[in-house]
Amino acid sequence: MRILVASSNLGSNGASIFARRSLMLLHKAGHEVLLACEEDAWVGRDLPADLPVIRTNFHRWPFDECDRVAAWCRERGVSLVHSHLTRSCNFGALLRQRHGIKSIAHLHANHPQIHTGFHDLLIAVSEDVARRHRMVPWNWTAEIVTVPNFVDDEEFRPAAAGEPDLLRSLLDVSADTPVLLSVGAICHRKGQDQAVRAFAQVRAKHPDALLALVGAGELPAGLPMDGVRLLGYRRDIPRLIPTASMVIVPSRQEPFSLAAVEAMACEVPVVAFAVGGLAEVISGGAGISLPAGDCAAMAAAMSGLLSDEAARRQQASSGRSIALARYGKEAHLAALVGQFRRVLAQ
């Protein structure tokens, strides 16, 4: 079984981050994996020397690029293509239709795409994503299974005693300063503007608290920015989360939310709007679940945790236990490989 993982994004959004983590998980477990990605794509940087890579622009017309990649796959005995983003999923569907290579598309987004009707199997990251894709006519006969994303508890773990507090060092504040953290590209969908509005209410009760936003992008003009700090895009997220007072996930739409699961694994409380797949992630006591867009409720939840250290510790402990039970990497690997083998046996 040789699997070609295909990821068409140049940068490091949630889907490409997961594609790389999945690729490395399979490789470390001894499975034969290969990668198809763009030239200079983030997902293809600093890979092990024994992991083959083909650089492609994923162009689907004319068929020259598809035929070139298919020939490369045949030479290396590729059994199946596992694609993760829209262009690579379209490309995987074309490899299947034109060259008969088995194809699995990993669905990371809520919005259905035409390509999904042309794969051997669709894997959704949450039940919400699966439900949305089942609604469109071209998927009525497609098989869709749900395999939630995973978290590496060796990379995302609670802060060790005496470990430097990088988050507060970046903010240049004392060790006892409450810092609320939000991680993700700053955009309307991720809802950081909602977190800022909610935090303005928190500052009235906790004037020493800060809200740190990690991610590229700009906030809308006119927001109450007192106590809000923008840290920009960073690659050291596993070192920032563990010392946060809590992690805020204010998304308007979310297929899954790696940020929530990573915070849970780091034993940090999560306060989030119950939208899409995120509602599944924080269910059952994993995080504090709030009605979508209710900034007053979010402010009350944040203030409540800041005022109650025991509640904060209990929520953090519950979140970590659930993260390890639901989203462990070994269980994810077994589920993923099981789906690969099932498709290849068909």
If asked whether residues 82 and 206 sit together in one domain, one would say no
Tally of domains within the chain = 2
**Where does the pLDDT of residue 72 fall: very low under 50, low under 70, confident under 90, or very high at 90 and above?**
very high
Residue 161 lies in a domain: no
257 and 111, same structural domain? no
Convert the pLDDT of each residue in 216-275 to its tens digit.
999 999 999 999 999 999 999 999 999 999 999 999 999 999 999 999 999 999 999 999
Q: Does residue 319 lie within any of the structural domains?
A: yes
Q: What percent of the chain has pLDDT over 70?
A: 100
**Tokens of residue 279, six digits:** 């509602």
Residue 75 sits in the same domain as residue 6: yes
Mean pLDDT of 287-295: 97
- Same domain, residue pair 214 and 229: yes
At 307 the pLDDT is 96
Residue 324 has pLDDT above 90, yes or no: yes
Pull the structure tokens for residue 287. 């995080």
Q: Does residue 38 carry a pLDDT above 90?
A: yes
Whether 291 and 256 map to the same domain: the answer is yes
Same-domain check for residues 104 and 221: no
CATH code of the domain containing 195: 3.40.50.2000
State which residues form the domain around 16: 2-150+328-345
> What's the mean pLDDT when you consider all of the chain?
96
> Quick one: pLDDT at residue 114?
87
- Domain assignment of residue 159, yes or no: no
Answer whether residue 102 shows pLDDT above 90: yes
Asked if the model's pLDDT at residue 21 lies above 90, the reply is yes
In this predicted structure, the answer to whether residue 177 has a pLDDT above a threshold of 90 is: yes
- Decide if 155 is inside a domain: no
> Is the predicted pLDDT of residue 184 greater than 90, yes or no?
yes
Omega into 62 within 30° of 0, i.e. cis? yes
The proportion of the chain whose per-residue pLDDT surpasses 90, expressed as a percent, equals 95
- Give yes or no: residues 238 and 253 share one domain: yes
What pLDDT sits at residue 112?
86
For residues 96 and 185, membership in a common domain is answered with no
| Mean per-residue pLDDT, 63-92 | 97
Task: Clarify whether residues 82 and 207 are in a common domain.
Answer: no
What is the band of 121 on the pLDDT scale with cuts at 50, 70, 90? very high
17 and 124 share one domain: yes
Average pLDDT score over residue span 115-131:
96
Task: Please tell me whether residues 172 and 95 are part of one structural domain.
Answer: no
Q: pTM (2 decimals)? A: 0.94
Q: Do both 247 and 280 map to the same domain?
A: yes
